[in-house]
Chains A and B, each alone.
Chain A
Amino acid sequence: MKNGIEIRWHGRGGQGAKTAALLLADVAFKTGQNVQGFPEYGPERMGAPITAYNRISSDKIRVHSNIYHPDYVVVVDETLLDSVDVTAGLKANGAIIINTAKSRAEIEKHLKGYTGRVYTIDARKISMDTLGKNFPNSPMLAATVAVSEVMPREDFFREMSASYQHKFAKKPEVIDGNMQALEMAFEELEEDIENDKVSLSA
């Protein structure tokens, strides 16, 4: 795999980081890409740190190892920042996306001097506002697509809508909430991403 991106997800068992990685593989597949989405299992229990991975490429993907030099890292639970070295191997020209209510400036202190881009998103709040429950993986998935630009925004929304229609065929009332969660995540990050683009090109 020469072209393409690698993503590492950090979460806790039961929070849906693995599901988010598999959803990202799913939606990237639907837009015509070669994909890999896989979890790394340790002792399986609720709340234990877990890692999941994505490779997304226009090339055939043959490598079957974990990812040590990701382009992007996604942290679904900020309490992991003190116990897991989330920026290990993260490329300086990549980015980290963290689910937190804290500001960028506050969160950067926990990132061991990582010099790449840092994005924060309050996925819990978005999920509570749109679904009434804390399911951070939909907003985190949208945030990952927004930051990585792994596919065009309209393709992402089109495929996610189709996917939710299918997945929640028997619970149509949650489809709108999930779509809103994706949109709010994109909107929350839009300004930061644009500002970073300006400063990167300067």
Chain B
Amino acid sequence: MTILTRRKLITSAAIGAGGLLTGCDALNRNPAFQDVLASAETANFTVQRALGDRMQLASEYRVADLSPVFRANGTRDPGTPAYAASAAQGFADWRLRLTGLFFRPQIFSLAALQSLPQRTQITRHDCVEGWSAIGQWTGVPLKILLDIAQLQPSARFLVFHCADRLGGRPYYESIDLLDGFHPQTILAHQLNGEPLPVANGAPLRLRVERQLGYKQAKYVTGVQAVASLAGIGEGKGGYWQDVANYEWYAGI
């Protein structure tokens, strides 16, 4: 009696485990269930923003802490003729355009950006895949550019347009104004004291240090101030958000 029941228990547990897997896959394909799962993003965003000072700095490290090799991921070379031509002349013709909801839209050359006050920070880059690398970044704080171009009151997000394409689509990312004005949010043109390598996003890459690696847009050509992310790409705020179920808020 006991043995039979025990055997039944084990059998039903095994069937249950198999059912759980197919059940999970079915739930995973269900849009309503995906919305339920995605609600955790709102909780993460709300709680992480509520904890501590909203302008809290990410940890900064010493030169001795640098990763021996700073891993590159995603696009390692945009590979277009225009990009190759620009790289060949040291990106002298590279332009950063501030467009959208600015009172004074701007076009900056690399030299113009380098003549503005700079910030150098040694921070940890955390990839969504799980690995980390510590690098030293030098660039112009985004706040300085926003102050020059003067945001209109209706602006709520900053969209970063990039020169690279992944799977045929242009890469882009977006952040809100709180991260836009954060002191560690910079457009970096140097990594570890050298001009930014092509694999790491030359000549300009966004650093938004309290979020994961996919927010750190490379090959940046423009910053567009918008009231809503709806009209950009597929409206989810970034390349990975559009093509897969990655969250717009990448604080965790």
Partners in one complex: no
